[in-house]
Amino acid sequence: MRLSLHRLFLIGALVGLGAACAPPQTQPTRVVIAVQPTLTAAEVQEKARPLEQYLEQRLGPGVEVEIYVPLSQAGVVEALRFGQAHVAFMGPFAGLLAVERAKAQVVLAEVREVIHDSQKTEATYYYSYWVVPKDSPYRSLEELRGKRACFPSTISTSGYIAPMARLIELGLLSEPPEGREVDPKTFFGQVLFAGGYGQCWEALKAGQVDVTIIAGDVPEKLYQEVLANTRVLEQQGPLPSHVVVVSPALQEPLRSKVIDALMGLSAPEYRSLMRQFISGIFVGFQRTDAQTHLGALREYVKRTHIAFAERINP
């Protein structure tokens, strides 16, 4: 049956009215927060609940908060990219990747208890140092050509990326061509990735390597032990602390409410929620953006061409 022009106009008007009355894109009533995979699922479930409860109380009725840990840091980036996570606590390198690949925004930098040289302070940045044993015959990095070095991780800003950029800056390594990463084995004779600063310190003490890195954001006891028994040859920094990033899927007004709630963790009575779960040296948060907080790291990555890859190197 053919419809009259009048009836077609009426139907079109009703459809248009329905579209106009349709509710805008709804904000998530469940806020998903991803964290770096440093805990088991059981530990996360146990330690995350107090933080979830704090955030739910701050965000008000109707908002449920869920904290979960993907299998890898790359998994955190992908969760942000596909809207499976709205917020993430991330290391600086992973945070930079989230900005570039997931269009996430850096909104907060972690203020931490760190050590600058021998001075304990609270800051969003710190330094790392090349160290050799006190009785080492080596007095400069240049003398370590062909020797043995230990690094904590290939994706550590302070323990690998910045030190490699420093070697390039000093002219001890050449900046790699496009498409290739800097290779520490073109300077050192043997390179060990031990999995952490403590492991590298043990390797240096045991004489398995000639030089390693220590950073000002490790536990104070480890830092002081290393500095008391080594000689510093070189340093790099300032290096950015961990960040909070948000997905484009988290829109206003909930976005601002979440950021304000996280800022509230800076109050002394709430710091333990983060210290028990995320960072043992957490002091608070400071508002920032990617350019301000991660600009130097972006330059380190650009200089070294290091790609984010979670792998274990021989």
Name the residue with higher pLDDT: 13 or 39.
Answer: 39
Average the pLDDT over 54-66 and give the result. Answer: 94
- Return the pLDDT at 141: 97
Residue 51, classified by CB atoms within 10 Å of its CB into exposed (0-12), middle (13-18) or buried (19+), is buried
> Is the confidence at residue 214, as pLDDT, over 60?
yes
Domains and CATH numbers, the chain: 30-113+241-292 (3.40.190.10), 125-240 (3.40.190.10)
Closest CA to 205 of 234, 226, 232, 233: 226
**Least confident interval from 16-20, 42-46, 244-248:** 16-20
Q: Quote the pTM value.
A: 0.84
